[in-house]
A and B are shown apart, each in its own frame.
Chain A
Amino acid sequence: MKRTSTVISVEHLGKRYRSVVAVDDVSLEVHEGEIFGLIGPNGAGKTTTMECIEGLRAPDHGTIRVLGLDPQRDAAALRQQIGVQHQEAQLQKRIKVWEALDLWARLYPRAVGVDDLLERLGLTEKRDARFMTLSGGQKQRLFVALALIHDPHVVFLDELTTGLDPQARRAIWELVLGIRARGKTVFLTTHLMEEAERLCDRVGIIEHGRLVEVGRPADLVARHCPERRVVFSSDSPFVAQQMSEVALCRSITNDGDTYTLHGEGDDFTTAVIQAIARADLHVRGFRTEAPTLEDVFLKLTGHGIRD
């Protein structure tokens, strides 16, 4: 595995608003060139954590370093090296797309070409459009463009696809993967588990301000939700009997002629297929159901992410 350097380090971060603890003793590291996702329900402390790292909020406790800089003390220097997209922050209704990018470009000593960036984000046709006329997806792409205008090392994306339709969401995902492909480090927050699974190299699960778990999505699933399910239909009256010989199988349930086999481990599916072949069973609609990050979240927090 490639040795990577630490871009963001957070140690024992704490932040409270009056009597409400927003972030409680969060420690994490983000490595160069990875997409790190902070996932959790609304109000879990994702945005507060991110804004402390960006230097927009002063933490009550803890140490934060981004590219070796202290976000509070070295705010001006850090701003040159990070790109920030805020959740729900708008632009002037009547500002034109190119005007926003031009303003942003002038604020940094080094900036990529406005037209190149528009091209890359698929906004060339919207160059002269006013912000208020853009669709949700186009607005988000513009915000990403603003975050990328000065070619930053680290890009922060807060709830980037919230409220977008699935098609626009996919387009944004491609874009984020493209940022990583250019060697940037991405720190994002999301409450969409599918998004986290698609995009993130590593995720941190945060709830009530506490970081519950950190790791690669696949590792987290394997660690916390090793169960696998195989579902198929068959006319054979002996399915339950024939499948009970699969060693990894813990239980079999059925709904009419549709059977669900519950097992554990990566070899479970293979074992079931072999058993079907041995028994010469005629099956239809064979599929496997693997747990997802959503299941991990449910297991770790005791409730679904949207509850």
Chain B
Amino acid sequence: MLKGFWTLTWLETKIFLREPMGVIGTLGLPVLLFVVLGRTMQSVRPEAATLAESAPFNLAILAALMIAINAVLSLIAIISIYREGGILKRLRATPLSPLTILGSQVVVKLMFTVVSLLLLVAAGRRVFPGAMQVGLPSFTAALLLSSLSILSLGFLIASVVPTARFAQPVGAAILYPMIALSGLFYPVSRFPEPLQVVASILPTTHAVSLLQGIWDGSGWGAHWGDGLALAAIFVVCCVAATRVFRWE
């Protein structure tokens, strides 16, 4: 079965924590971005009563999306470094199943996504009182589903990019523009037709729609379509990744 799964997951967690810069980058930057942007916007519009009024878009959703994307970039880096260093090859020659090897990485990333989100909420409640009125379990679940869907796209990227040095810029070049197309800054309906089509198949678009819905209190019922789309993207990317994934 999934022999060694928890041992490997725990080990990868410890290994991740042993690289302080990586931890700060993955966990801290989205929180920092949120606080700095929030402060800046408040100073631009001091008359606004709340953070939501002072900002032209939902900063918390942007920060949450950054958390997910950072996790994906980190996963792409790890997979490509492990492949280039022969670590994947060495692990695969053991009784560990491929699903265990890759699955434990995903679990580690999701764990840190939750930690990062909790940090974000804690910081938000402290710095912007009243700005973080959201059902945390529901929002966490939505972020995890979104992360999983974007992570599967990350797997696909990590599967085809040949070297570790190249993987990170390629990942960033693909993922960051997706934020611009996600509908967070401008409604997708205002995009030109072709861009709307592109946006509709990107996981980030559905992630933003779902997260925004949960944030605004409209709940899962109103956004089951986004949830389904995220799940569908996950399945498609996983199937595609198993076909093109290279272990060495």
| Contact for B3 among A56, A89, A107, CB less than 8 A | A107
Q: Which of A73-119 contact B (CB under 8 A)?
A: 76, 79-80, 84, 86, 88-92, 94-95, 99, 102-104, 106-108
Asked if B90 and A86 make an inter-chain contact with CB atoms under 8 angstroms apart, the answer reads yes
- Pairwise interchain contact A89-B95, C-beta atoms closer than 8 A: no
Most interface-central of B14, B19, B93, B95 (chain A CB within 10 A): B93
Q: Mark B80-104, 1 if CB is under 8 A from A, else 0.
A: 0010011101101111100000000
B93 with A80: CB separation less than 8 A: no
Complex contact A94–B93 (CB within 8 A): no
- Among B8, B12, B90, contact of A89 (Cβ-Cβ < 8 Å): B90
Point out the residues of chain B lying under 8 angstroms from A169, CB to CB: none
> Are B8 and A79 in contact, CB atoms less than 8 angstroms apart?
no
Q: What's the Cα separation between A64 and B19 when bound, in Å?
A: 44
Q: Is A79 a contact of B90 with CB atoms below 8 Å?
A: no
Q: Report which of B11, B18, B85, B93 forms a contact with A56, defined as CB distance below 8 A.
A: B93
Residues A107 and B95 in contact in the complex (CB < 8 Å), given A99-B11, A102-B7: yes
Q: Is A79's CB under 8 angstroms from B93's CB?
A: yes
Does B15 sit within 8 A of A, measured CB to CB? yes
Interface string of B1-17 (1 = CB under 8 A from A): 00110011001101100
> Could you tell me if B87 and A90 are in contact, using CB atoms closer than 8 angstroms?
yes
Residue pairs across A and B with Cβ atoms less than 8 A apart, 20 shown, are A56-B92, A79-B95, A86-B89, A86-B93, A89-B86, A89-B90, A90-B86, A91-B90, A92-B15, A94-B18, A94-B19, A95-B15, A103-B11, A104-B94, A106-B4, A107-B3, A107-B94, A107-B96, A130-B18, A146-B90
- C-alpha gap A90/B94 in the complex (Å): 14
Chain B residues in the interface with A (C-beta under 8 A): 3-4, 7-8, 11-12, 14-15, 18-19, 82, 85-87, 89-90, 92-96
- Say if the beta carbon of A159 comes within 8 Å of chain B: no
- In the complex, the answer to whether A103 meets B86 with C-beta atoms within 8 Å is no
Does A227 interact with chain B (Cβ within 8 Å)?
Answer: no
Least CB distance from A71 to B in Å reads 12
7 tightest A-B contacts by CB?
A89-B86, A90-B85, A94-B18, A89-B90, A107-B95, A94-B15, A84-B93
CA A89 to CA B4, docked complex, whole Å: 20
Known: A79-B94, A92-B11, A94-B18. 17 other contacts (CB 8 A): A54-B93, A56-B92, A76-B95, A84-B93, A88-B86, A89-B85, A89-B90, A90-B87, A91-B87, A99-B11, A102-B7, A103-B4, A103-B7, A104-B94, A106-B3, A107-B94, A108-B95
Chain A residues within an 8 Å CB radius of B93: 54, 56, 79, 84, 86
Q: Give A151 Cβ to nearest chain B Cβ, in Å.
A: 14
Q: Smallest CB–CB gap between B23 and chain A, Å?
A: 12
CA distance A88 to B93 in the complex (A): 14
Nearest residue in B to A146 (C-beta to C-beta)?
B90
Q: How far apart are A107's CB and chain B's nearest CB, in angstroms?
A: 5
The answer to whether B11 touches A90 (Cβ under 8 A) is no
Q: Which of B18, B95, B96 has the most CB of A within 10 A?
A: B95
Verify B86–A86 contact, CB threshold 8 A. Answer: yes
Best-surrounded residue of A76, A79, A103 (most CB of chain B within 10 A):
A103
CA distance A107 to B92 in the complex (A): 12
Smallest beta-carbon distance A4→chain B, Å: 27
Determine which residue in A88, A102, A130 has the highest number of CB atoms from chain B within 10 A of its CB, and name it.
Answer: A88
| Contact partners of A88 in chain B: CB under 8 A | 86
Residues of chain A with a CB closer than 8 A to B19's CB: 94
Q: What residues of A have a CB within 8 angstroms of the CB of B7 in the complex?
A: 102-103, 106
Q: How far is the CA of A276 from the CA of B205 in the complex (A)?
A: 93
Assembled-state Cα–Cα distance A277/B211 (Å): 99
B84 CB to nearest chain A CB (Å) = 9
